[in-house]
Amino acid sequence: MISLELRMEYQDARTAETVLKALEPDNIGHVSSDIRDSEIVFKITAENAGTLRNAADDLLACVKIAEEALGLSDAVPDLDGDALPE
């Protein structure tokens, strides 16, 4: 078993809690999470590096979507799906 810990810090505890609640349905299985003040601590565990990478990639994609939904991201949308900002 291998593991990875990711920490995401936000401007306040309420924002961190809101992001975490948005991610709860997606975090069943390989990801556990905890809030420490204004920081979310994710711990991902997996049997191998490939599975760990996939779980981390999925988690980060979900974090990005939650942050964008909350207006926390200044990212330019990828309107045509080519991975380049419009």
The half-sphere exposure of 64 on its side-chain side, counting CA atoms within 13 A, is 10
Percentage of the residues of the chain whose pLDDT score is greater than 90: 52
Question: What's the confidence (pLDDT) of residue 69?
Answer: 87
Question: What's the confidence (pLDDT) of residue 72?
Answer: 83
Positions in the chain short of pLDDT 50 = none
Provide the sign of the torsion angle of the four alpha carbons 54, 15, 70, 8, taken in this order. negative
Domain chopping of the chain, boundaries: 2-69
Question: What's the confidence (pLDDT) of residue 85?
Answer: 54
Name the fold adopted by 2-69. TATA-Binding Protein (3.30.310)
